[in-house]
Each structure stands twice: as C-alpha cells, then as structure tokens.
Structure 1
C-alpha cells in the first residue's frame, strides 16, 4: 500500500514478474475495506500515507488479530520507526529506494510467514470453538490440568471422585479432538500465550 502511484505500479509489476499476485491500494481505507481474512496475505506498507499512517494500519490489523505479514517501506525511515514496526509484528522494514531482488526475497519470506501465521490462527480459532463446547465442569477440570494440578487434587478441589475427573478428562479429549491431555494442555498454553 503506497500513495505513490508510480512506485505502487512498479512494485505490482515486480511481484507479478515472479508470479506473485498482488493488489494495489493507495490508502488505508481502501485496503481495510477489502482485506480478506480467509486467505494468508502479506502487506507491503509505506509508513507515510494520507489519512492514516502505515503504523495506524498495523495497529488496526493487530487489534483485529489479522494473521498476515507486514513489510514496511519508507523513504523517511529511521531506527526508531524500524524498531516500532518490528516490535509490533512487522517482518521487515526496508528503506526506499530498495534493491528489487532484496524486496522480492523479503516478500517471499513474508509470504511463508503469513502462511504459518494463518495456519496457526486457524488452529487457534478451531481450538477456541472446541473449548467453547465444554461444560462448565469440564472447563474447570481443564483449567486445573493446565495449572499442573494432579487428578487426585482436582477431585479434592472440586469435591468429586478421581474416577469422575477421569471421565471429564476423557470427554474433554473427545470434544477437543486432542490425542492426549498433555497435548491439549500444551495447545491451550500456546493459545493463552498468543
């Protein structure tokens, strides 16, 4: 996304020359209104744009939990801008004018990162939905398991038998499709850290 028409057109041609499909946007509103969250994506953002800066776009995408990769470009960038972009999740920050091959390499890497982020986001979304199917008691058992509490202590805390805890754990694995309770605990911890 760049408000410089000539540069935007040049970038689209460069990406197209190696088979990368792209769309050009001259302002944040146009991009945000058409961004398709159902596919992995990489966005190349100029820092300075009319109406909303590239950082403003990045903030909105982060708030929305958009699983895409951001590459910043700027003719007026400095170390502080670069650090800000990277801390907020950008995969790279390039100064204009950039070497075309270097930009292609960065975009190719960013596309791979976008695919990884998209797949992780899809797994997290699916896990959240499955966790939503748990009963209140099953969620209590799971939460205590995530804390590392043993079955016997879970039973004591909840005032139920150890066998009942085992039944809840089996139902939790069944409802979430987890291969084991340990694998589910790992996935929940990753989800909470996301």
Structure 2
C-alpha cells in the first residue's frame, strides 16, 4: 500500500468511523452514564469484533457470508433483536446513586464491552464495509494479506479515535444530566434511537 492510497483511504475511512450508528450511540451513552474511561474501555469489544471481521474479509470468508442469504439474514436478525433488547433495557433503566456510581461502573465494564462486541458483530452492514470498502484500496499485484492487515490496523486506530470523540461528547453531556429525571430522559432517547435502528435492521433488505 503506497502513500497515495493511504491519503485516499484515511479520510474516507474516518467518515465511516464517525458516522452515527448503534455503536457510536453506545459510546455516547456509556460516557454520559459511566465516564469517559469506561466508554473507551468498553469500545475494545467493538474493536475486537471488527478485527475478527477484517480477518474474515482477508481470508475471503466474509464474501461467503454475504453470498449466503441464510447466514446473512441470521446475523441481521440476531443483531436486530439484540439492539431492541438494549433499547428496552435503556428505556427501563434508572439512574445510579452518585456514591455507588464508581463501583457500579467497575462492575459493568465487562458487560459494556460485551454489549459493544455483540452490537458490532450483529451488524451485517459492518461485514459489507469490510467486503466492499476495504478491497477498493487493495492492489492485486501485491501481497493481499499484508495490505488487508495494514488497512485493517488503520481502520481500527481510526475507530478508536471515533470511540474517544463520541466518549468525549458524552462526557460533556454529564453536565446536562445532573438530575435523575434528565438521565432517565437521556437513556430513553438513546433507547428509542437504538430501537429504531434495530427495527430498521430487522425489516431492511440487503442491497
């Protein structure tokens, strides 16, 4: 991969990383509810899911998943069901007590990471990105595996930056969420948006 290709790939990739979506909404909510650090650590779950997808794309297995209607729909349905489940959980959640918030955050880190992983892994659009977007920047007369590795690493670094930026935005939302009622409203707004994303994923058709 040459420098000119990298100059084209980085801005195009970063637009995808920063696009509003279920995972970025989770980062926003995690930071507002648990803090910036918790949001960034939880994002590791998303990065791991994307790393697996990049590995599948480089091995050609992702193309098989996209080509198989049954596998693709199964991933779509599971991902949609989990998004709706998270939406219901956020809608029904209650704000944590200030003095117990630190302990609660530590206890929930693994759960937050698992949530990020499942949302990322259950989104078939992410698979399409790695099977349709990354190959556009691969030069076929050079080692493909190494190019996928380099492009994948750049993608993951930029995704980490997006996680941090959304987390930073969510951190500043804490000032507006000083009251329990405000936090309940925020969780319900996030839950409603995730629910809409889940329904859209459930009823959407593959192009």
TM-score (norm 2): 0.26
Q: Whose helix proportion is higher, 1 or 2?
A: 2
Q: Which has the higher contact order (CA 8 A, sep 6+)?
A: 2
Of structures 1 and 2, the larger Rg is shown by 1
TM-score (norm 1): 0.28
